[in-house]
Structure 1
């Protein structure tokens, strides 16, 4: 007897934490289903989609690099947020159609929801990075009314991203090394303001270059958010914590986007505790 299943696809795929996350929730919810990983090379993506269309047990897939853009023309419908971001990370079959969505935006915003629900005099985010993750973060924060400063190796690419994702916004760009250079900038009164500093790159990740960042650029009371998951406490977050800033690590976004996908796959909310403590312990084991 076969079981319903969902999966994550990518090239490579062995590093994905998605099977551990979804497997934990399936076990906790008592759902008789599986969640797998499937190595799909770019040349095989169309064949993969064609094969899953006829599989009644398939509940959908998460999509990792390098397929988040390439999969879009192979689907029947793209949800508005995925169309805006220009990337699909979740595919589900709905009434005979394959529907592409993007849960990265919801996953990134989830740990900020309490703060975003408050009223502020001013909201600003300094975002480091112009890659795929940054697209989702820019789109999500712009919709929440933040003024954005986006820093990248190519400021022209940063400007193009802002013009595409929020053309009416009064946002700013900076070269990547802007935030690496020391500054003694005197911030004005930040009472009643929301300030975020986000590392949306792989800088600081194991095996990657370090993130060079001077904390003179961080306004008092800021929240520092790093989407890197290995190490979980990056040097950026460690210094932010030592300086007394609130911090959010990369597992928050990873678990948040997975929870949104889980409900789409299995039609029930992910069975989470308040802080995802047990899941975090398993992922760190």
Structure 2
């Protein structure tokens, strides 16, 4: 009797520099266990240089990786490396996913889906007006997500106004002076912080929420700490909030489905495990 060849485990991972802080391995490991999938999701540190990145991707493809998530500072490197690029990745100018196949490496940006789904969890009818703080790579994904959700009046404020003007031209936005950001929220439906302000080890985000519509949603893409000063202030004033953990979980879904071939569910059990992991790391 001929024995059936054993099927190799699915291999995937997250690439960045540094990368050991990432919660993505925790998320994918939980989902793989739930689905009964024989697979491994590994953190892979690669120096910032593009040539180093390209060599690492070639090696991962050679050993049979199904794909990888990409984090700072390699999101633009991933776009450059890819053989095919999705429309979302093109518009953001960055990719947080590479999927490997015989046809090559396909780049995607699931941050857009991640933020949109995190907002839908909290607000089924998000309204029309938004103020986005920050004009970096993360802001681009958030802006596209807001467009997907139907927002038509989007304002942007950034400490360097020139960068805000660049995005305003690309996405048809209204530029708000950074020093007057707290005065531009009286009729908005969602406020989103995409800056590093409020993150562990960074200065706090100084923002006066007094003029904010009581029904407005407040979102912060930071997840360390889980509740930034902005989100604490918003909750104290009765606003619904979205933290960076929600976006992180939802952006992981497309990668898991593509690479591990199984369903991935964002729920309270997963959220609870991630909160415990952040507490273990002293970052909750």
Instruction: Report the TM range for the smaller structure's normalisation.
Output: 0.7 to 0.9
Answering whether residue 176 of structure 2 is matched by residue 174 of structure 1, we say yes
Alignment of 1:47-86 (within 5 A): 47-56=55-64, 58-86=65-93
C-alpha distance in 2 between matches for 1:225 and 1:280: 18
The match for 1:132 is: 137
Alignment of 1:187-198 (within 5 A): 187=186, 195-198=189-192
* Deviation by residue 1:131-175 (Cα, 9 ceiling, x = unmatched): 1111100122123331111000122211211222x2xx3x21123
Unaligned runs of 5+ in 2: 1-5
C-alpha distance in 2 between matches for 1:153 and 1:281: 31
The match for 2:3 is: none
C-alpha distance in 1 between matches for 2:185 and 2:86: 43
The match for 1:268 is: 262
The match for 1:6 is: 12
Alignment of 1:16-27 (within 5 A): 16-27=22-33
Answering whether residue 227 of structure 2 is matched by residue 224 of structure 1, we say no
Taking only aligned residues, the RMSD between alpha carbons, in angstroms, comes to 2.2
Return the offset for 1:232. Answer: 0.3
C-alpha distance in 2 between matches for 1:277 and 1:65: 23
Change (3 A) 1:4 1:154: same
Return the offset for 1:20. Answer: 1.1
Answering whether residue 39 of structure 2 is matched by residue 45 of structure 1, we say no
Q: Does the aligned pair in 1 maintain the 2:14–2:70 contact within 8 Å?
A: yes
Return the offset for 1:274. Answer: 5.5
Regions of 4+ moved over 4 Å: 114-117, 185-188
C-alpha distance in 2 between matches for 1:109 and 1:271: 16
Alignment of 1:194-209 (within 5 A): 195-209=189-203
